[in-house]
Amino acid sequence: MKFSHKILLAAALVVAVAFACFILFNDYRQRQTLRSSTESSMQELGSLTTSNIQTWLESRIQLLQSLSQQIAVDGSDQANLKRAIDLPAYTGNFQLSYFGGTDGVMFSIPAGNRAADYDPRTRGWYKAANSAQQTIVTEPYIAASSGKLVITVATPVKHQNQMIGVAGADIDLSSVSAIINSLNFGGHGHAFIVSADGKILIHPDSKLALKGLVDAYPNGAPTVSPGMKEVEIDGKRQFISFTHVNGVPSADWYVALVLDQETAFAMLSEFRTSAIIAMVIAVVIIIALLGMLISFLMQPLLTMGRAMHDIAEGEGDLTKRLTIHGHDEFGALGTSFNRFVERIHSSIREVASATGQVNEVALRVVAASNSSMFNSDQQASRTSSVAAAINELGAAAQEIAQNAALASQHSSDARSLAEDGQQVVDRTIAAMQQLSAKISESCGNIETLNSNTVNIGQILEVITSISQQTNLLALNAAIEAARAGEAGRGFAVVADEVRNLAHRTQDSAQQVQKMIEELQVGAREAVSIMTDSQRQSESSVGIANQAGERLGSVTQRIGEIDG
């Protein structure tokens, strides 16, 4: 990409970014302005609508209050009620006009069909007017007789400050509905009347009448309060503005105006489209102007480029110079280039001079080289002999290296085996030391056994002596029993049994004595053998220690060789 094209591209980007920022900022400002304008317009329209509704209701309320005053003056008998209520002013504006007396009497035009026990005093409109002691307006409801949406206006009737009943009228809301339905903003919005507690009273969609705001706006019902808010229904954003209906007794109504945001911001979309078109046109014009300006300003640079090309294509003619037409940046660039070429030209001349001198030196070097080549041939023959000897020496050295590597491998294996042997010897020494300790312990136990057998022999001698004395005592007892005759016969039997027992005890003691003597002989032989084994074990431990030390020395030497 050419430098001029890069400049144009950068300028186009800068202009586009600047215009985009301007469009975004202006879009934001226009959106805020349109929102404020929409809110103001909707509030004005809401105020006008509520004023019309208020005027319409006030005229009906005044008619009913006039009827109330007429009844208060004329009285509440049937003839006067019929004459007062049946006037065209009332029948033409009210769907139903009626009077409920404090005595429970009910009179209406048209009469309608009422139950025989109908008592107006139990009705909500009567109670509300009686309680408020002023004109009241009920919320809209569907009339049972006509099926239309109506409201009831009721006011107390007093004669000489004494309440004689309540006058009321059912008013068809078709006129109010017509006013509300006319506010459709060209098909991009609608209006409805809602109570302060969120109950829809009049709505263009009859299905939503007398239902809550949450039914109309399931994604989030707005708060009923003066001002404009944003809602969403069926994926569309809308503005909704509430305006309070003033001057309606006992009623807290609001007129709600709904407008699609897309419609409210339609001008913004048109402006955005126009701004984008203007930006594209401006960018194209600016790029065209910049292109012409850059072409004009780049002429000196293009001239310098052509001159440099001529120098490059002129077989390296360094005598050519650029023509300087000004003292701007391009002129400074041309001057610097001319200085550069001048220095190159001077350097080339110096190189040419040095090249001649180098040629002379080269000729001398060639002559010296020829002489050296003859000497080199002689040296080459001698070098060949030396090389053959060196090759033989190298082969021998390689064989020695292989043998050394093999010896190193064998020494490594021997070292590994010696280390394993060292571990085996160490374990053998430990086992022999344990064996020597066990033998020493066994020698002690046998010595103890030998001494115990000697003690047992002494005990047996005592037992033998006792048995002999017992035998003598038994013999003496037998002699004494014989002397006693029949009186000593039982004692003689006992003495004979004692003598037999002493004799058996003496025989058993002799047998035990013989066995103990044999045991003592075996114990002495075992002591002698264990003593010899202990000496041999200690000697073996010493020999094993010497073998371990020698094997450790061998392992160390092998490690030194392998290292």
User: Do 265 and 34 touch, CB atoms closer than 8 A?
Assistant: yes
Q: Is the dihedral of CA 162, 164, 165, 167 positive or negative?
A: negative
Task: State yes or no: pLDDT of 100 exceeds 50.
Answer: yes
Q: Of the candidates 190, 194, 255, 209, which has an alpha carbon nearest to the alpha carbon of residue 54? A: 255
Q: Is the dihedral of CA 443, 449, 455, 461 positive or negative?
A: negative
Only one residue has tokens 């934001």, namely: 28
Residue 136's pLDDT is 92
User: Do 193 and 253 touch, CB atoms closer than 8 A?
Assistant: yes
Tell me: the pLDDT tens digits for 379-400? Answer: 556 556 645 655 675 675 577 5
Task: State yes or no: pLDDT of 127 exceeds 90.
Answer: yes
Count the alpha carbons within 13 Å of 241 in the hemisphere toward its beta carbon.
25
Task: State yes or no: pLDDT of 78 exceeds 90.
Answer: no
SS3 sequence, 294-349?
HHHHCHHHHHHHHHHHHHHHCCCCCCCCCCCCCCCHHHHHHHHHHHHHHHHHHHHH
Tell me: the pLDDT tens digits for 147-157? Answer: 888 999 999 99
Strand, coil or helix: 410 = helix
Name 223's Cβ contacts closer than 8 Å, sequence gap at least 6: 229
For residue 523, give both structure tokens. Answer: 């114990």
Cis, bond preceding 222 (omega within 30 deg of 0): no
The residue type found at 257 is L
At 233, the pLDDT band (50, 70, 90 cuts) reads confident
Tell me: the pLDDT tens digits for 430-479? Answer: 777 787 777 677 777 777 766 777 777 677 677 777 777 877 877 787 78
Task: State yes or no: pLDDT of 280 exceeds 50.
Answer: yes
Neighbours of 484 (CB within 10 A): 13
Q: Are strands 236-244 and 162-172 parallel, antiparallel or unpaired?
A: unpaired
% the chain with pLDDT above 90: 9
Task: State yes or no: pLDDT of 374 exceeds 70.
Answer: no
Cα–chain center distance at 435: 69
E strands, 160-204, are 162-172, 189-195, 200-202
Does the domain spanning 409-562 belong to CATH 3.90.1150.10? Answer: no
Strand, coil or helix: 93 = coil
Residue 160's pLDDT is 84
Task: State yes or no: pLDDT of 301 exceeds 60.
Answer: yes
- Show me where the domains of the chain are located: 11-268, 409-562
CA distance 99 to 81: 8
Neighbours of 251 (CB within 10 A): 18
For residue 549, give both structure tokens. Answer: 């030390």
CA distance 505 to 463: 8
Q: Of the candidates 292, 345, 300, which has an alpha carbon nearest to the alpha carbon of residue 319? A: 345
Q: What is the mean pLDDT of the chain?
A: 78
Q: Of the candidates 195, 201, 259, 263, which has an alpha carbon nearest to the alpha carbon of residue 230? A: 259
Dihedral of CA atoms 341, 346, 348, 353 in degrees, nearest 10, equals 170
In which region does residue 518 sit, left (phi positive, over 0), alpha (psi from -120 to 50) or beta (all else)? alpha
Please tell me the pTM assigned to this model.
Answer: 0.46
With 0-12 / 13-18 / 19 or more C-beta atoms within 10 angstroms meaning exposed / middle / buried, residue 452 is: middle
Q: What CATH class has 11-268?
A: alpha beta
Strand, coil or helix: 18 = helix
CA distance 475 to 500: 10
CA distance 535 to 541: 10
For residue 300, give both structure tokens. Answer: 């000196």
Residue 365's pLDDT is 55
